[in-house]
Amino acid sequence: MKLDKNFFSENIKTLLYALIIAIVIRSLLIQPFYIPSSSMEPTLLVGDRLFVTKYSYGFSKHSFPFSLPILNKRILFNSPERGDVVVFKTPADNRTDYIKRLIGLPGDKIQFIDSNLYLNSSEILKSKILIKNKIYCGKRVIDVYKFEEILPSGKKFHTVYLKDYTYQNSDVFTVPENHYFFLGDNRDCSKDSRYLTSVGYVHKDNLVGKAQFIFFSSDRNIGSIFAFWKWHESIRFNRTFDKIN
């Protein structure tokens, strides 16, 4: 069979167009992420796969694959709201993706007193909803109290604290201009803005996008996703298309 001389060139063009479209979608619209750690439990579990909207807060160089230096500052900026679950590049290396909950806006003062979270000198209200609960911290299973916390805006979400409240008191964290303060919902098992040398305050240019919903979730402790005979146990069907609060 004789092939048309344009066969290969047309197919290469099609592949290039598909690649360009994929890059545009990933950079400007939506990007999938995988949750590898337990720092956001109970909101996000290890094995959750979720979609993040890249346009929610505008665009910076971190909107592009490999953080290509296409932009030298954030454009079309929309300020995130307190309580958003946000993907950002860690200030330590401007490369690693973290996902945490936004607690402090520029100018806010955050402090822990007797294991209670204070925002601008007012305690964040929380009510205990489970006295006994087990949750992951890395590979360890830990005993925690589960709470519903309410931000001043009325935003509600669930957090967990170790029963012995290991993180009890802190200095006052004052969020600098153009920066944000993030916490993990798994409060005693999260490396976040409380740790200034490793994460600290996050500049607005480091924001990647807003977590929107889970599109797939599997429990790797039960078995690999390739072990189809365990899908009835390993796949968390009840989390599919869950909106992230």
* Per-residue pLDDT tens listing for the chain (245 residues): 454 556 567 768 777 877 777 777 777 789 999 999 999 999 999 999 999 999 999 999 999 888 989 999 999 999 999 999 999 999 999 999 999 999 999 999 999 999 999 999 999 999 999 777 888 898 888 899 999 999 999 999 999 999 887 888 999 999 999 999 999 999 999 999 999 999 999 999 999 999 999 999 999 877 777 777 778 888 999 999 999 99
Vertex 83, ends 80 and 89: CA angle to 5°?
60
Token representation of residue 15: 């592949």
Query: How close are the terminal C-alpha atoms of the chain, in Å?
Result: 58
Main-chain phi, psi angles of 156, to 5 degrees? -115, 145
Task: Using only the alpha carbons of the chain, give its radius of gyration.
Answer: 21
Which tokens belong to 176? 């600098």
Check if the beta carbon of residue 222 is closer than 8 Å to that of residue 45: no
Query: What is the model's pLDDT at position 25?
Result: 74
- Residue at token pair 């189809």: 228
Q: How far apart are CA 215 and CA 35, in angstroms?
A: 12
pTM of the model: 0.89
Q: What is the DSSP string of 53-86?
A: ETTBTBB-GGGSGGG-TT-SS-BS--PPPTT-EE
Task: Please give the CATH number for the structural domain made up of 7-239.
Answer: 2.10.109.10
| CA dist 18 → 15, 104, 159 (Å) | 5, 40, 41
Cis amide prior to 42 (ω within 30 degrees): yes
pLDDT of residue 1: 47
Return d(Cα 137, Cα 67) in angstroms, integer: 30
**Cβ neighbours of residue 203 closer than 8 Å, sequence gap 6 or more:** 91, 178, 179
Residues with a known catalytic role: 39, 100
The reported pLDDT for the residue numbered 170 is: 93
